[in-house]
A and B are shown apart, each in its own frame.
Chain A
Amino acid sequence: DTEVTQTPKHLVMGMTNKKSLKCEQHMGHRAMYWYKQKAKKPPELMFVYSYEKLSINESVPSRFSPECPNSSLLNLHLHALQPEDSALYLCASSQVFPGQTDTQYFGPGTRLTVL
């Protein structure tokens, strides 16, 4: 099974809401990633977890809060977002981080709209 699943597929939220994005993989990977992708732009790395510990935070605003409860699950908690945070949020996983020859497997993404 080489699948990364993400829920929900679509999310619309107001600027005062609190919501969470969920990502799951069952490939035994120990590295998981969050990316943000605006329309017609490349993905931008937000966070990397390695062995359930936060390894990389690319200076992401605190209104985005990642959480890795176990090696298969990655959450992204959202609070007080701005309309410019509307984007496709992609989760990915790889065997280890940083790896030598690791493939990153991407989930289908959550399309987030902030009103």
Chain B
Amino acid sequence: QQPVQSPQAVILREGEDAVINCSSSKALYSVHWYRQKHGEAPVFLMILLKGGEQKGHEKISASFNEKKQQSSLYLTASQLSYSGTYFCGTEMRASGTYKYIFGTGTRLKVLA
């Protein structure tokens, strides 16, 4: 039931782009994206609601394909500060039940 993220890990040079995918086997109501640096709390990046929504935040944007139950996070012109572990948080609401499950995580390291 836990959403699978790909890739598991990625190393970039400063200025390079990356895409992180989050794929669920269950229907999703919304997807949240977080970045967590080592030893710190997760930091909320953005939320996407069902409807193919695409949102942007500085050089970080994301899309949500409700039919495919997938979301992607796009990091452009990466900076050293982008290093960390990225999680998708997936919200599922069905028949009166509620589930909030984080994806498996993607470790991203940006090198100078």
Contacts and interface: CB of A to CB of B under 8 A. Distances in A.
Nearest to A43: B102
Contacts of B105: 40-42
B94 interface: no
Given A42-B104, A43-B102, A104 B44 contact: yes
Interface residues on B, range: 20 to 34
A106 interface: yes
B32 A104 contact: yes
Secondary structure call for the A interface: loop
A43 B98 contact: no
Contacts of A106: 41-44
Interface stretch (A60-68, A77-85, A95-103): A95-103
A13 B64 CA distance: 43
Contacts of A90: 41-42
A40 B91 CA distance: 21
Given A98-B93, A101-B49, A44 B41 contact: no
Interface of B: 2, 32, 40-44, 47, 49, 87, 89, 91, 93, 98, 100-105
